[in-house]
Amino acid sequence: MHMETPWWRDAVVYEIYVRSFADASGDGVGDLTGIRQRLPYLSELGVDAIWLTPFYRSPMADGGYDVADYRDVDPLFGTLADFDALVSEAHAHGLRVIVDIVPNHSSAEHEWFKAALRGDGRERYIFHDGGELPPNNWQSTFSGPAWSRSPDGKWYLHLFAPEQPDFNWRNPEVHSEFLDVLRFWLDRGVDGFRIDVAMGLYKAEGLPDTPPEDQAFKAESPIWGRPEVHEVYRRWREVLDSYPGERMAIGEVWTDSAEDLALYVRPDELHQSFNFAWLEAPWSATAFRKVVDDTLAAVTSPTWVLSNHDVVRHVTRYGEGLPHSTKGLARGRAALLAMLALPGSAYLYQGEELGLPEVTNLPPEARQDPIFARSLGKLPGRDGCRVPLPWSGAAEPYGFSPDGARPWLPQPVEWTALTVERQAGDPGSTLSFYREALRARRALRGSLSDGVTWLDSPEESLFFTRGSLTCVINCGVAPVPLPPHDRVLIGSAPVDGHLLPPDTAAWLHTS
């Protein structure tokens, strides 16, 4: 029997950072109604699904990744009724909905943690008697020690901010709670979950010190990628599979190798995990080729991603740190075309379709990411990629909020030229390019091979084919001759049919 490809296998998923997408209520913070109003924009863009970052009840110590109630919408973002309306309207637009689930830690305002501080149900979190010093040398991902003291002097673990205490996954109650939370949202019609800190839930027994140099997301670590975590995802997979309609899960998994990543997507575990290797690679044909080869050798359902709400926007990364660099934008567009030509699914981050750069000059008093405060201003944090989207008009709030409201982060004046309104009618704009590229990808859907075949190409360029599609990208400094083809389907910049300019990619049709 011919099996249909499940929707997520080659989907283009658009990440909505809810606080910064669209504000309908006028309080300067994005919300669910704002998203509902912009669904036509997303369907016209041509994506298949949206991933919503956390919109649950939260004191917002980490932009909502500190959840106080996993079964309710924060009033800042709307109500459960707004959520239900969003899901049904998204589905009516042909868009699937993925929601974030945050199982590594809760908010310190969660009922369980408040009870734990009263001495009730402490075994749901990781408390330690300790002494004067923290129980071990673990450092928070957000700077500073990973341990804080509760009012009665006991230490509790938080891999992120002190307002985000880590759950104790060795307690069966934590398991049943999250199975129930999954069902709560599945019953409301969500199509999938993005699992926050998916490789962090279990900590090594005895909480041993990490070697000093090993604070990163590493496989051989007492913190990350413990083998027990896979049992959790096997159980979650059973729940997802028990619902109709191809429900799925994608893990936020940072690893050093594609082999480690592959452990999370074994057939009875998660459907996908983020493949951050491309995002971490420099602008280099050799580096890109290695990422593609390593990924395809290890993983059968690959994913690709260039940007998200935690990293410097790729236009700025590729522009060697300069925010408004022509080179960065050209490379960003080229990388998108290469990514969309690869087998698997692609995750886009809101605003990349406008070519938005990182905002590098936010005033210190505007910055809200706990990384900035916890590092005492040494690290800029992630606010620069979270600035609210510019939709229309010539001044802040650029249609993000109703006129008169101030967005929660200031928007740069240069964004007047980058609004959706300005770009929508301009065939040369980045928005028009994204729409065209997504249309071209849809037109090819189902007709391409699962693997890629490399063709010989000049140094610092890559040529690969998937059936009738040849994708070419030039990461070098000189133009390179195009391989044989019938016609150019799309270019990240104008391509004349003979030479591929530097910092450019194109799709060619061959018969």
Question: At closest approach, how far in Å is the CB of 65 from ligand NOJ?
Answer: 3
- Cα–Cα distance measured from residue 397 to residue 309, given in angstroms and rounded to the nearest whole number: 20
Residue type (1 letter), 172: P
Residue whose CB is less far from ligand NOJ, 122 or 309: 309
Catalytic (active site) residue 109 = no
347 binds ligand NOJ (CB under 6 A): no
Q: Which residues, in sequence order, are bridge partners of residue 481?
A: 499
Question: At closest approach, how far in Å is the CB of 306 from ligand NOJ?
Answer: 15
Token pair recorded at residue 324: 């408004």
- Cα–Cα distance measured from residue 8 to residue 2, given in angstroms and rounded to the nearest whole number: 18
Count of positions on this chain that bind ligand NOJ (CB under 6 A): 9
Q: Which residues, in sequence order, are bridge partners of residue 500?
A: 480
252, 260, 353, 369: the catalytic one is 252
274 binds ligand NOJ (CB under 6 A): no
* 98-117: contacts with ligand NOJ (CB under 6 A): 102
- By CB under 6 A, name the one of 10, 15, 82, 196 that touches ligand NOJ: 196
Exposed, middle or buried, 377 (CB in 10 Å: 0-12/13-18/19+)? Answer: exposed
Question: At closest approach, how far in Å is the CB of 62 from ligand NOJ?
Answer: 5
166 binds ligand NOJ (CB under 6 A): no
In the bound complex, which residue of the shown chain has the CB atom lying closest to ligand NOJ? 65
Question: At closest approach, how far in Å is the CB of 235 from ligand NOJ?
Answer: 21
Token pair recorded at residue 419: 């609004």
Question: At closest approach, how far in Å is the CB of 67 from ligand NOJ?
Answer: 9
Question: At closest approach, how far in Å is the CB of 224 from ligand NOJ?
Answer: 12
310 binds ligand NOJ (CB under 6 A): yes
Residue whose CB is less far from ligand NOJ, 83 or 160: 160
Catalytic (active site) residue 414 = no
- By CB under 6 A, name the one of 160, 185, 233, 276 that touches ligand NOJ: 160
- Cα–Cα distance measured from residue 363 to residue 384, given in angstroms and rounded to the nearest whole number: 11
3-state secondary structure of 125: strand
Which region holds residue 503: left if phi is over 0, alpha if psi is between -120 and 50, else beta?
A: left
The residues, ordered by sequence, that sit 6+ positions from 244 with a Cβ below 8 Å of its Cβ are: none
How far is residue 221 from each of residues 170, 200, 237, measured CA to CA in Å? 18, 10, 25
271 touches 250 (CB < 8 A): yes
184 touches 67 (CB < 8 A): no
* 41-100: contacts with ligand NOJ (CB under 6 A): 62, 65
196, 352, 369, 383: the catalytic one is 196
Residue type (1 letter), 202: Y
User: What mask of x and - would describe binding to ligand NOJ in positions 248 to 267, judged by CB under 6 A?
Assistant: ----x---------------
Asked if the peptide bond before residue 397 counts as cis, ω within 30 degrees of 0, the response is yes
Q: Which residues are catalytic?
A: 196, 252
Q: By the criterion CB under 6 A, which residues form the site for ligand NOJ?
A: 62, 65, 102, 160, 196-197, 252, 309-310
